[in-house]
Amino acid sequence: MSLDLNLFVKEALAHKIAKSEIRETLRKANWQDDEITAALDAYADVDFAIPVPRRKPYLSAREAFVYLVLFVCLYISAGSFGTLVFEFIGRWLPDALQPYGSSLTGVRMAVSSLIIAFPIYLWLSSLMMKAIRRDPEKKSSKIRKWLTYVTLFVAAGFIIGDLITLLFNLLGGELTVRFVLKVVTVLVIAGLIFGYYLWDLRKEEKS
């Protein structure tokens, strides 16, 4: 946050100027909405002689560890589930030109990963949701936001790449039911992850 902006907001609040008026004034001065919101949110909405700084969330090493493990488990679960669906598609619709040979090792690894990683993801998600309910400020955790945006970026990359691959094969006349099902599988998995975390971010911004 800009020091000049922070000082301006602090002085304006000290003179009992409403936050809405401060926001409009800063917009006229070409400050960005996210910068204005960050500066205003730095001070609590309490009636006192001088502006009262809002408590900033403290990110402990434990929270950082939990969030990292949580998102890693999400990635493992998504990849393992996609692998299993691909295996089922390969068994259901074998390719005559490329005889299907199921890799039992790959299937066992995908099942094992899913059985271990997904419950851990659900458990850690539950722990963090309980922690946020006790202390809503934890929702502003920087590492949580960074990992969420990284997840959105990865999911968006899969969705875009998936659609490009689908169009490429469509234009080449090489579209098969087997291929379409695999494309839809990737699209659904990535789309669900992208949709959920985008919804979560928007809900946080509204609150």
Higher pLDDT residue, 58 or 200?
200
Q: How confident is the model at residue 73 (pLDDT cuts 50, 70, 90)?
A: very high
Q: Are 41 and 32 in contact (CB under 8 A)?
A: no
pLDDT of 58 reads: 62
Average pLDDT over residues 25-34: 89
Helix (H) or strand (E) run with residue 184 in it: helix 177-206
> What are the start-end ranges of the H helices in 29-174?
33-41, 61-92, 104-134, 142-171
Q: Are 73 and 121 in contact (CB under 8 A)?
A: yes
Q: Measured between alpha carbons, how far is 118 from 116 in angstroms, rounded to an integer?
A: 6
Q: Are 207 and 172 in contact (CB under 8 A)?
A: no
3-state secondary structure of 149: helix
Average pLDDT over residues 19-47: 88
Residue 92 has pLDDT above 90, yes or no: no
Average pLDDT over residues 167-192: 86
Q: Measured between alpha carbons, how far is 45 from 55 in angstroms, rounded to an integer?
A: 12
Residue 130 has pLDDT above 60, yes or no: yes
Average pLDDT over the chain, rounded to an integer: 86
pLDDT of 26 reads: 92
Q: Measured between alpha carbons, how far is 117 from 196 in angstroms, rounded to an integer?
A: 19
Q: How confident is the model at residue 1 (pLDDT cuts 50, 70, 90)?
A: low
pLDDT of 41 reads: 84
Closest-CA residue to 82 (of 114, 119, 120, 105): 114
pLDDT of 54 reads: 81
Give percent of the chain above pLDDT 70. Answer: 91
pLDDT of 207 reads: 60
pLDDT of 99 reads: 53
Q: How many CA atoms lie within 13 A of 36 on its CB side?
A: 16
In this structure, what token pair is assigned to residue 142? Answer: 């920087």
Q: How far is CA 78 from the centre of its chain?
A: 14
Higher pLDDT residue, 153 or 5?
153
| Model confidence pLDDT, tens digit, residues 75-85 | 999 999 999 99
pLDDT of 4 reads: 83
Distances (CA, A) of 159 to 19, 31, 187: 40, 34, 6
The owner of tokens 């393992």 is 80
Crossing angle of helices 19-28 and 33-41, in 10° steps, is 150
Residue 168 has pLDDT above 60, yes or no: yes
